[in-house]
Chains A and B, each alone.
Chain A
């Protein structure tokens, strides 16, 4: 890719991304939302989070071996338990990473 082409691509990505983010925050009531959509918004965060999270931990078939998956499952389960009990992200990160490294080491 040429230098100018690279910048063109990056700026186009930036423009698309900003337009999506700016839609309602900048234009406010100039865009109208149907009542159903407003009710649907309650479920956006949890649904988007689940859609991002689940495939990172559970990968059916394909190219990823068990030796790579098992440490992630273990860290995910332990991390989820800590998250449910404490809701503390730093605790989840520390416990989760330690679990990942521990199980990786055990599986050699």
Chain B
């Protein structure tokens, strides 16, 4: 598969995600202005941090007058999942030179990870995986930064009663349901335990509930897998799931 074809395929898969990200980008931009960040910082944050959930959390903490240390630890905790994503994607993106891997690492998001894990089973060649990943993640990055810039410029002008920010949980819901539907029984266990734990652990400080729940789900999935018998596939195909084969 040519680079252009892989890129196009990624772009096509990213389109719905791009649509869905616009409201969240707008919300983050508006929030940054409302918290009182100067325009340049409000815009710049989305370009250099590029992590919506952590940005929203940081803005809330800034509004509450939290010290920088708390904001940075929260950023670390909320973004710890990127280490796991990075590990899962590393092998697939190995074909690229170091500078391009750095660019792709910067562009890693929940969405690009989800789309990657959704589709990588279909790309046997490493070069095609890199093209596909860039096709997914570059447009997502572009939409994110553009939407949040628009949010900053619009300020508080968007009608809150449209609840456009609800598009964000709907996106994650879709990705989760699809992962569950395609998954094997340890995947169902992991998804169910993580979800249940997240609901119960939500009152934990610093948004720790998210991390606790994710690790509980992962542990439960592993436990179920070992209980059930042999591992499905060795680590190399870590994110390739049943149903991805062409």
User: A interface vs B, CB < 8 Å?
Assistant: 1, 3, 5-14, 16-18, 20-26, 28, 33, 35-60, 62, 72, 75-76, 79-80, 83-84, 87-90, 92-93, 96-97, 100-101, 104
B residues lining the A interface (CB < 8 Å): 16-17, 19-20, 37-38, 41, 44-45, 48-51, 53-55, 58, 62, 68, 71-72, 75-76, 79-90, 93-94, 98, 101-102, 104-106, 108, 110, 113-114, 117, 162-163, 166-181, 183, 186-187, 190-200, 202-203, 209-211, 213-219, 221-222, 225, 231-232, 234-235, 238-239, 241
In whole Å, how far is A100's beta carbon from the nearest beta carbon of chain B? 6
Least Cβ–Cβ distance between A33 and chain B, in angstroms? 6
Q: Please provide the 7 A-B residue pairs with the shortest distance between their CB atoms, ordered closest to farther.
A: A38-B235, A47-B217, A43-B221, A56-B169, A89-B16, A54-B195, A24-B90
Find B88's partner among A17, A44, A56, A60 (CB 8 Å cutoff).
Answer: A44
Cα A13 to Cα B194 in complex, Å, equals 26
Least CB distance from B11 to A in Å reads 15
Taking a contact as CB atoms under 8 Å apart, the answer to whether A11 and B17 are in contact is no
Interface of B (DSSP majority class): helix
Main secondary structure of the interface of A (DSSP, over half): helix
A-B contact pairs, 17 of them (CB 8 A): A10-B49, A13-B49, A23-B86, A41-B235, A42-B232, A43-B222, A45-B175, A47-B190, A48-B110, A48-B194, A50-B214, A51-B197, A52-B198, A54-B213, A83-B177, A83-B178, A93-B170
Which of A40, A46, A62, A75 has most chain B Cβ within 10 Å?
A46
